[in-house]
Amino acid sequence: MLGPVGARALSSARPTLVARAAVALQRRRNTDPIRTARPLSTEADGDAVNVLPTSKAWKAFMDDGEGAKAVYWTAAWCGPCKQISPEYARLSQQYSDIAFAKVDVDVCEEAAQTAKISSMPTFQFFKFGEFMGEFAGASPDQLQLYVEKVNQITEEEYKSLMAQHAEDKDV
């Protein structure tokens, strides 16, 4: 049995332990890239990937203009996602005309359902307010190819391709 001094020491230590745990948890939350939105460009990372922490942030990103966009759907537990992330960050630096975003499917479940994401990693590309294409998998070559194509295509080329596609469907 603890005496009055021992009980007092334990009761005074308990808030300290709880406070330390709360501070540690808050630090983790504040540094978790999925939970914390960061600006499009950070000196610390040197990349231009916008981490979207909520489904609402994803919707705002998608509704923001008709410029070129790349959306990387990922999950914290996904091994291939971890392998391709540095390449995605590198491309975000190289192609400044494209807005790059990263969305965790477990954190932004509603957005993932809306975008019909079924595997990770999945990359989706948009330009002129239109869906340009997507692929699933951690292929750096395929990622590079899609980013280059989205970056290079002009609105006239896009409209021409869409017109040809519509004609092919009619035949």
Q: Which of the residues in the chain have pLDDT under 50?
A: 1-44
- Co-location of 70 and 153 in the same domain: yes
CB 53 within 8 A of CB 60: no
The SS3 of residue 10 is helix
- Co-location of 139 and 56 in the same domain: yes
pLDDT of residue 7: 41
Catalytic annotation, pick one of 78, 99, 105, 108: 78
- Co-location of 13 and 60 in the same domain: no
Position 37 in a domain: no
- Co-location of 4 and 68 in the same domain: no
Give the mean pLDDT of the chain. 80
Position 157 in a domain: yes
- Co-location of 67 and 131 in the same domain: yes
For residue 142, the domain's CATH number is 3.40.30.10
CB 66 within 8 A of CB 129: yes
CA count, 13 A, side-chain hemisphere, 55: 11
How many CB atoms lie under 10 A from the CB of residue 121? 25
Position 106 in a domain: yes
Position 93 in a domain: yes
Position 40 in a domain: no
Whether 108 is catalytic: no
pLDDT of residue 66: 85
Q: Given strand 68-74, what is the order of strands in its sheet? A: 49-52, 98-104, 68-74, 122-127, 130-136
Counts of helices then strands in the chain (DSSP H, E) = 6, 5
- Co-location of 73 and 117 in the same domain: yes
- Co-location of 120 and 57 in the same domain: yes
Per the structure, the complete domain to which residue 149 belongs is given by 49-162
Torsion of CA 32, 134, 96, 35, to 10 degrees: -10
- Overall domain count for the chain: 2
pLDDT of residue 171: 67
Question: Does the pTM exceed 0.85?
Answer: no
pLDDT of residue 46: 57
Torsion of CA 87, 88, 90, 92, to 10 degrees: 170
d(CA 151, CA 139): 18
CB 40 within 8 A of CB 99: yes
Give the Å distances, CA to CA, from 102 to 51, 81, 127, 170: 5, 11, 17, 38
pLDDT of residue 31: 43
- Co-location of 89 and 11 in the same domain: no
Catalytic annotation, pick one of 75, 81, 99, 103: 81
d(CA 43, CA 21): 30
Whether 81 is catalytic: yes
- Co-location of 53 and 27 in the same domain: no
